[in-house]
């Protein structure tokens, strides 16, 4: 996951490519700007706070799988009541009628523009997407503005107590609450199953969500997920037999090098549980799918994105 070991591996990887941190930051910023191109905000009444204003946009850079022309979408900030408090989230969906819902969990740096952009793009492909502030127990938004901010000592100190407040039981409860909220929205097609996608530390959250509401979740998608297999009774992989969902698990090259047995354990457990599973190691570093990550790899991110859309289309 995004710990000191991963940071060291990614620094070595970037050093091998002879890129400075500044050059990487510029590249990630350009990618984020390109993904956000064409977005426009719908004017709101003067007495309506900016955070409540809906945003209408056409999602750019469609992946090779799915609709060739992105749909017009509308997004808004929302608040969701959970058993442990009120969580802020960003909800974005196509304007033309109900669509399958997707619960998106962000990486260790939290809900920020990068994940709003990723959610907006997925909505443009035909899904009603909720991306959440999973640190709501300890803080309101903003958490961090960019992944680069997390990489500073101040950023890591900011995140540490927020992360420590999250428990497996809390994520299970949150997953159920967030899926209930999705099912209450007119933009969500309740006749079709939901999906959940997670990145980095939130890869395991997809399994906990699907186990919490197995009748509703039809796909889990984990990208460079951390701690999917542990020696603890609460290990996420042990939940596979409780799922009624297909699994897409995309593993980073350096994560696989550190824990080479993980993929085999996941495959064996999924097969024994009769869970349809696509489990693959990608030739990319931990964090490669997140658009503001210093190791964002557009080629491999597009490949993972296309596999996610193909899995959604098949099972939702």
DSSP 25-42: HHHHHHHHHHHHTT-EEP
Band of pLDDT at residue 69, cut at 50, 70 and 90? confident
User: What are residue 201's phi and psi, to 5 degrees?
Assistant: -60, -20
Domain hosting residue 67, numbered range = 4-40+53-315
Per residue in 8-49, pLDDT (tens digit) is: 554 555 556 544 444 444 445 544 554 544 444 333 333 333
Distance CA 257, CA 255 (A): 5
**And the tokens for 185?**
């929205």
Residue 124 located in a structural domain: yes
Residue 102 located in a structural domain: yes
Per residue in 111-167, pLDDT (tens digit) is: 999 999 999 999 999 999 999 999 999 999 999 999 999 999 999 999 999 999 999
**Which segment of 67-76, 169-178, 199-208, 263-272 scores lowest on mean pLDDT?**
67-76
**Which segment of 17-31, 103-117, 292-306 scores lowest on mean pLDDT?**
17-31
Give the orientation angle of helix 203-212 with respect to helix 168-183, to 10 degrees: 70
Residue 47 located in a structural domain: no
Residue 39's closest CA among 67, 73, 64, 76? 73
Residue 302 in contact with residue 63, Cβ under 8 Å?
yes
Mean pLDDT for 72-95 is 98
Say what the pLDDT of residue 16 is. 60
**Which segment of 5-9, 166-170, 179-183 scores lowest on mean pLDDT?**
5-9
The proportion of the chain whose per-residue pLDDT surpasses 70, expressed as a percent, equals: 78
Residue 102's closest CA among 200, 210, 1? 210
State the DSSP code for 71.
Answer: P
Say what the pLDDT of residue 3 is. 55
**And the tokens for 31?**
């990618």
State the DSSP code for 99.
Answer: B
Using CB atoms within 10 Å of the CB of residue 168, give its burial: 0 to 12 exposed, 13 to 18 middle, 19+ buried: middle
Mean pLDDT for 72-92 is 98
Say what the pLDDT of residue 266 is. 98
Mean pLDDT for 289-304 is 98
Residue 227 in contact with residue 204, Cβ under 8 Å?
yes
Residue 202 located in a structural domain: yes
Total number of domains in the chain: 1
Residue 61 in contact with residue 34, Cβ under 8 Å?
yes
Q: In this structure, how many other beta carbons lie within 10 angstroms of the beta carbon of residue 219?
A: 26
Residue 179 located in a structural domain: yes
Residue 180 located in a structural domain: yes
Residue 293 located in a structural domain: yes
Mean pLDDT estimate for the chain: 87
Per residue in 183-228, pLDDT (tens digit) is: 999 999 999 999 999 999 999 999 999 999 999 999 999 999 999 9
pLDDT at 269 over 90: yes
pTM of the model: 0.84
Buried b / exposed e over 12-22, threshold 16 CB at 10 Å, is ebbeeeebeee
Question: Which CATH number fits the domain that encloses residue 301?
Answer: 3.40.50.1820
Say what the pLDDT of residue 195 is. 98
Residue 45 located in a structural domain: no
């Amino acid at each position: 996951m995004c710990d000191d070991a991963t940071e060291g591996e990614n620094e070595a990887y970037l050093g091998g490519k002879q890129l400075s941190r500044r050059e990487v930051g510029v590249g990630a910023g350009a990618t984020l700007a390109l993904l956000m191109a064409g977005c426009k905000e719908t004017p709101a009444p003067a007495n309506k706070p900016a955070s409540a204003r809906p945003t209408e946009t056409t999602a750019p850079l469609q992946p090779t799988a799915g609709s060739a022309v992105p749909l017009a979408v509308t997004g808004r900030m929302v608040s969701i009541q959970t058993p442990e408090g009120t969580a802020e989230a960003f909800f974005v969906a196509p304007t033309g009628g109900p669509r399958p819902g997707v619960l998106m969990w962000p990486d260790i740096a939290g809900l920020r523009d990068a994940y709003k952009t990723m959610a907006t793009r997925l909505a443009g492909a035909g899904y009603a997407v909720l991306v959440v502030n999973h640190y709501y127990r300890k803080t309101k938004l903003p958490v961090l503005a960019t992944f680069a901010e997390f990489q500073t000592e101040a950023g890591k100190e900011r995140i540490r107590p927020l992360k420590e407040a999250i428990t497996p039981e809390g994520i299970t409860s949150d997953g159920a609450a967030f899926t209930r909220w999705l099912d209450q929205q007119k933009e969500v097609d309740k006749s079709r199953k939901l999906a959940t996608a997670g990145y980095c530390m939130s890869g395991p959250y997809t399994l906990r969500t699907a186990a919490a509401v197995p009748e509703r979740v039809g796909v889990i998608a984990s990208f460079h997920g951390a701690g999917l297999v542990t020696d603890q009774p609460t290990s996420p992989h042990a939940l596979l037999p409780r799922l009624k969902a297909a699994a897409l698990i995309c593993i980073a090259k350096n994560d696989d090098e550190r824990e080479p047995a993980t993929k085999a354990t996941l495959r064996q457990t999924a097969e024994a549980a009769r869970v349809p599973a696509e489990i693959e190691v990608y030739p990319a570093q931990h964090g490669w799918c997140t658009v503001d990550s210093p190791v964002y790899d557009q080629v491999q991110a597009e490949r993972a994105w296309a596999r996610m859309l193909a899995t959604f289309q098949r099972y939702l």
